[in-house]
């Protein structure tokens, strides 16, 4: 997926002209107006920098310096960085702005963020895959360097010295005992230098030793507004004349139709207006109705009284077990799926093996349950459809919205809001479609709000999965070959098939649903078969969920590597280290995976030291290990985890006592944000391993609210020890990799503690008791 860099879609060239011509002025006018943060009465000790969301007015005023579309400098010295990534708690704006500010030699206190609306000029607008810093580091660094170069040249002219005598520091150009601020250069100077796209690509950036902001502790620019309530989320969106809607969701995701609606009882609710049936040409919301009212309270109350007679689709009787059983059948059908990583000699390795070790693994359905249930406000204004909502992948849903509304794509714009949790759910913007259709049918703005139950029933969950792992051993007990068969519902197949490459047998595969399988172990010939579970795809719309395929793939892979080590009579860490050889395809390559498997071995060695691996532990207490390259093989984030658990043999309860994690993510741009990302990702993985998970029954998830679906609580958070490897290599992703290691580390620790192996998550007390009694 790395080929889809944002900067491949950027407009060509950069400008350093303070006064734009009329054509550029039209482009600027689409940038949007800063509505700004609430300012008065803030007493906590936070540094407040500007944090804004674009609205349909001007941002860039005449007389500013805009060297690239990614930022501009005001005459008063304020530096406004445009953020095209979604903010959902990960401080992405702070990280991206620091990249620009470091190269620009900016005063951090003068930096502000502007979260932009959808526009083709921003290129591919998607926030996911832990891509944001990785894909933007080089282009934003070069953008900052271009501005610094132009400011030094113009500052030197104003100071009457040669540019060679000048340097930029802290938003000033300095020459000996003379200096001039960036603001003064912008207001007094003539910034007319232009750079071509080729100039930008050749723009040198500073060596790591000269960085003054990247890698240093700093305040996140978005924290004050989140703390005092100034941040605007989708639920905050309002417009004059809007009505509220609550969806009535059919019993199956696909194929349902409405026979009849009886809203007589709902008419007693004050504020209730009507119930409308949606006609959706995109098949995003087939068989849907929407209750319309003056307020959400009224819509919510009336919705409980409306009776709908549905004809359900074909999956009304499908269960979780049906999906898993279908996965087994697919795995046992040799012609199914896409063949990946097809090394020569796999069959020979197994035919000649002195010993073959094989195990199966299961993961169950996982929901997103983000804090803010999905919602959207939609209306038409001056011939353009405005969609106000939080979203992670604007470029994906805008074509769907255009088709649903019967308009051209340039007649749809998504206004930007913070996300009250994303975790991959808002990569799929399907929830905006019913809002737009309802607004079009009524001819007025509609604010569609989902309850928690609605949100769960319409979620794009992580599909249940079934995997079969096999390893061949030679006569000396060393791995001689490996096979991995993995099946689940595929989100990319059903939502973004244009992202699907083909395997060695010319069959397409979902890269997000097999990431993690291309491991860096040297195990002899290796073959992976990725199989789409078509029954899962038909029952619900599988979704991208934090770490996507890597989460469930690595549970099987690292559980299996642990079992294989014990099968071979080896220590689990030593077994892995012996296979992490930086040679052949595992040697790594510039720029993203320099060092290859040796860097994964390094984090594994370090976590062994930090965790006290091999120490004597109390009874029924154990340590388990897992490691990963994170998300994508060509942007590896080397991660290793040791989990310490204690198990109550009577109740089967597993207590996670401590997590030790070591991460090599190359250059760490924003250390505090990086730590928060690893902590959050690790705990998400723990939650899926021990606390979360549901089953499908009669075509729907059985758990529909947080009374039945129980994510990890604060009381369950273990002690955590985190360490980052100091590095100046390419910065890679941090939002997801730690999610992939905690689950298998816990399962492996349970085996160390009580000698039983759990091959299914979530790991329930009943499953532990059953394993002990088996």
Q: Residue 361: pLDDT above 60?
A: yes
CA-to-CA separations, 53 to 82, 510, 615, 736, in angstroms, rounded: 10, 34, 52, 26
143 within 8 A of 70, measured Cβ to Cβ: yes
CA-to-CA separations, 261 to 247, 287, 294, 450, 518, in angstroms, rounded: 13, 12, 20, 20, 51
Bridge partners (DSSP) listed for residue 638: 664
Q: Residue 19 — pLDDT band, cuts 50, 70, 90? A: very low
Q: Which pLDDT score, from 0 to 100, does residue 195 have?
A: 79
Nearest to 471 by CA among 375, 346, 570, 340: 346
Q: Residue 43: pLDDT above 50?
A: no
Q: Residue 450: pLDDT above 80?
A: yes
What φ, ψ does residue 98 adopt, rounded to 5°? Answer: -65, -35
CA atoms of 415 and 426, how far apart (whole Å): 14
609 within 8 A of 705, measured Cβ to Cβ: no
Average pLDDT, stretch 491-499?
96
pTM: 0.92
CA atoms of 430 and 644, how far apart (whole Å): 40
Average pLDDT, stretch 110-132?
95
Nearest to 299 by CA among 252, 263, 250: 263
Q: Which pLDDT score, from 0 to 100, does residue 194 have?
A: 76
CA atoms of 278 and 430, how far apart (whole Å): 14
Bridge partners (DSSP) listed for residue 528: 340, 484
320 within 8 A of 364, measured Cβ to Cβ: yes
Q: Residue 700: pLDDT above 70?
A: yes
Tens digits of per-residue pLDDT, 156-172?
999 999 999 999 999 99
Which of 34-43, 403-412, 485-494 is the least confident region? Answer: 34-43
Q: Residue 60 — pLDDT band, cuts 50, 70, 90? A: low
Bridge partners (DSSP) listed for residue 69: none
Using the structure block, give the residue that is written with the tokens 């690509």: 201
Average pLDDT, stretch 484-492?
98
| Mean pLDDT rounded to a whole number for the chain | 92
Q: Residue 203: pLDDT above 60?
A: yes
In terms of Cβ atoms closer than 10 Å to its own Cβ (0-12, 13-18, 19+), residue 281 is: exposed
In degrees, rounded to 5, the angle at the alpha carbon of residue 358 between the alpha carbons of residues 352 and 364 is 150
Q: Which pLDDT score, from 0 to 100, does residue 200 have?
A: 86
Q: Which pLDDT score, from 0 to 100, does residue 85 have?
A: 97
Q: Which two tokens stand for residue 226?
A: 């989140």
Q: Residue 53 — pLDDT band, cuts 50, 70, 90? A: low
Question: Which CB contacts under 8 angstroms, 24+ apart, belong to 584-592?
Answer: 584/522, 586/520, 586/521, 586/522, 591/729, 591/730, 592/2, 592/134, 592/634, 592/635, 592/636, 592/730, 592/732
In terms of Cβ atoms closer than 10 Å to its own Cβ (0-12, 13-18, 19+), residue 395 is: buried
Residue 177 burial (CB count, 10 A) = 5
Q: Which two tokens stand for residue 316?
A: 């009304």
Residue 180 burial (CB count, 10 A) = 20
Tens digits of per-residue pLDDT, 218-244?
889 989 999 999 999 999 999 999 999
Average pLDDT, stretch 668-678?
96
Q: Residue 22: pLDDT above 50?
A: no
Looking from the CA of 459 toward its CB, the CA atoms found within 13 Å total: 32
CA atoms of 99 and 147, how far apart (whole Å): 13
CA atoms of 220 and 92, how far apart (whole Å): 9
Q: Which pLDDT score, from 0 to 100, does residue 52 have?
A: 56
In degrees, rounded to 5, the angle at the alpha carbon of residue 299 between the alpha carbons of residues 294 and 304 is 155
Q: Which pLDDT score, from 0 to 100, does residue 303 have?
A: 98
DSSP letters of 587-620?
S--TTTSTTTHHHHHHHHHHHHHHHTTT----TT
Q: Which pLDDT score, from 0 to 100, does residue 8 have?
A: 29
Report helix, strand or coil for 171. coil
Determine if residue 477 is left, alpha or beta; phi over 0 gives left, psi from -120 to 50 gives alpha, anything else beta: left
Tens digits of per-residue pLDDT, 260-311?
999 999 999 999 999 999 999 999 999 999 999 999 999 999 999 999 999 9
CA-to-CA separations, 477 to 471, 472, 559, in angstroms, rounded: 11, 9, 19
Q: Residue 57 — pLDDT band, cuts 50, 70, 90? A: very low
CA atoms of 356 and 362, how far apart (whole Å): 21
CA atoms of 15 and 60, how far apart (whole Å): 14
621 within 8 A of 642, measured Cβ to Cβ: no
In degrees, rounded to 5, the angle at the alpha carbon of residue 32 between the alpha carbons of residues 394 and 381 is 75
Q: Residue 4: pLDDT above 50?
A: no
Report helix, strand or coil for 377. strand
101: which residues sit within 8 A by CB, 6+ positions away?
79, 81, 108, 111, 144, 213
Bridge partners (DSSP) listed for residue 466: 362, 487
Q: Residue 198 — pLDDT band, cuts 50, 70, 90? A: confident
Tens digits of per-residue pLDDT, 677-687?
999 999 999 99
CA atoms of 636 and 251, how far apart (whole Å): 41
Q: Residue 61 — pLDDT band, cuts 50, 70, 90? A: low
Q: Residue 384: pLDDT above 50?
A: yes
Nearest to 700 by CA among 273, 323, 233, 242: 323
């Amino acid at each position: 997926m790395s080929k889809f860099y944002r900067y491949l879609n950027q407009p060509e060239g950069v400008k350093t002209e303070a006064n734009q011509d009329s054509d550029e002025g039209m482009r600027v006018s689409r940038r949007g107006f800063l509505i700004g943060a609430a300012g008065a009465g803030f007493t906590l000790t936070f540094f407040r920098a500007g944090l804004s969301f674009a609205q349909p007015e001007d941002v860039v005023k005449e007389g500013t310096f805009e060297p690239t579309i990614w930022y501009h400098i005001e005459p008063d010295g304020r530096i406004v960085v445009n953020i095209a990534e979604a903010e959902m708690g990960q401080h992405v704006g702070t990280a991206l702005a620091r990249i620009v500010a470091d190269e620009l030699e900016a005063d951090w206190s003068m930096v502000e963020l502007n979260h932009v609306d959808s526009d083709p000029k921003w290129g591919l607008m998607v926030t996911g895959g832990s891509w944001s810093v990785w894909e933007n580091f080089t282009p934003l660094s070069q953008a900052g360097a271009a501005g610094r170069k132009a400011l030094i040249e113009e500052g030197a002219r104003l100071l009457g010295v040669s540019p060679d005598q000048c340097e930029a520091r802290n938003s000033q150009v300095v020459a000996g005992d003379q200096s001039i601020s960036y603001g003064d250069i912008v207001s007094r100077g003539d910034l007319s230098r232009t750079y071509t796209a080729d100039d930008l690509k050749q723009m040198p950036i500073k060596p790591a030793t000269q960085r003054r902001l990247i890698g240093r502790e700093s305040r996140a620019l978005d924290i004050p507004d989140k703390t005092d309530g100034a941040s605007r989320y989708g639920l905050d969106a309002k417009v004059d004349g809007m009505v509220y809607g609550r969806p009535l969701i059919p019993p199956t995701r696909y194929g349902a139709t409405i026979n009849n609606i009886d809203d007589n009882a709902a008419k007693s609710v004050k504020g209730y207006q009507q119930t409308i049936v949606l006609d959706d040409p995109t098949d995003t919301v087939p068989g849907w109705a929407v209750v319309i009212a003056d307020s959400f309270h009224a819509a919510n109350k009336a919705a409980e009284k409306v009776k709908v007679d549905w004809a359900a689709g074909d999956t009304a009787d499908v269960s979780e077990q049906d999906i898993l059983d279908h996965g087994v059948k697919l795995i046992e059908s040799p012609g199914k799926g896409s063949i990946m990583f097809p090394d020569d000699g796999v069959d020979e390795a197994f035919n000649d093996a002195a010993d073959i070790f094989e195990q199966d693994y299961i993961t169950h359905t996982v929901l997103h349950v983000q804090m803010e249930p999905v919602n959207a406000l939609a209306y038409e204004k001056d011939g353009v459809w405005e969609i106000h909502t939080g979203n992670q992948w604007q470029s994906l849903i805008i074509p769907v919205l255009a088709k649903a509304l019967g308009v051209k794509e340039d007649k749809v714009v998504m206004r930007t809001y913070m996300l009250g949790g994303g975790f991959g759910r808002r990569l799929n913007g399907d929830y905006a479609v019913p809002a737009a259709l309802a607004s079009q049918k009524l001819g007025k703005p509609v604010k569609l709000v989902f309850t928690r139950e609605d949100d769960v029933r319409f979620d794009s969950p992580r599909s249940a999965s079934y995997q079969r792992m096999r390893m061949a051993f030679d006569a000396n007990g060393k791995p001689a070959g490996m096979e991995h068969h993995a099946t689940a519902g595929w989100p990319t197949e059903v939502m973004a098939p244009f992202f699907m490459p083909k395997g060695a047998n010319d069959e397409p595969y979902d890269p997000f649903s097999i990431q993690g399988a291309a491991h860096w172990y040297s195990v002899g010939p290796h073959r992976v078969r990725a199989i789409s579970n078509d029954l899962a795809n038909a029952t619900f719309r599988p979704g991208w969920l934090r770490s996507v395929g890597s989460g469930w793939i690595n549970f099987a892979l690292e559980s299996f590597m642990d079992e294989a080590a014990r099968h071979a009579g080896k220590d689990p860490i030593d077994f892995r280290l012996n296979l992490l050889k930086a040679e052949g395809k595992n040697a790594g390559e510039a720029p993203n995976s320099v060092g290859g498997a040796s860097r994964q071995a390094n984090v594994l060695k370090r976590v062994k030291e930090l965790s006290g691996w091999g120490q004597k532990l109390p009874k029924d207490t154990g340590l388990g290990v897992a490691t990963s390259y994170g998300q994508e093989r060509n942007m590896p984030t080397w991660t290793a985890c040791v989990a310490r658990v204690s198990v109550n043999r009577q109740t089967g309860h597993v207590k996670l006592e401590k997590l030790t994690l070591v991460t090599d993510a190359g250059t760490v741009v924003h250390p505090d944000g990086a730590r928060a990302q690893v902590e959050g990702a690790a705990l998400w993985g723990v939650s899926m391993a021990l606390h979360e998970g549901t089953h499908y029954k009669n075509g729907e998830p059985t758990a529909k609210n947080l009374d039945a679906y129980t994510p990890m609580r604060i009381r369950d958070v273990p002690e955590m020890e985190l360490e980052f490897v100091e590095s100046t290599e390419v910065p890679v992703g941090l939002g997801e990799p730690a999610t992939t290691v905690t689950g298998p580390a816990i399962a492996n620790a349970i085996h160390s503690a009580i000698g039983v192996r759990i091959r299914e998550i979530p790991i329930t007390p009943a499953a532990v008791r059953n394993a002990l009694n088996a």
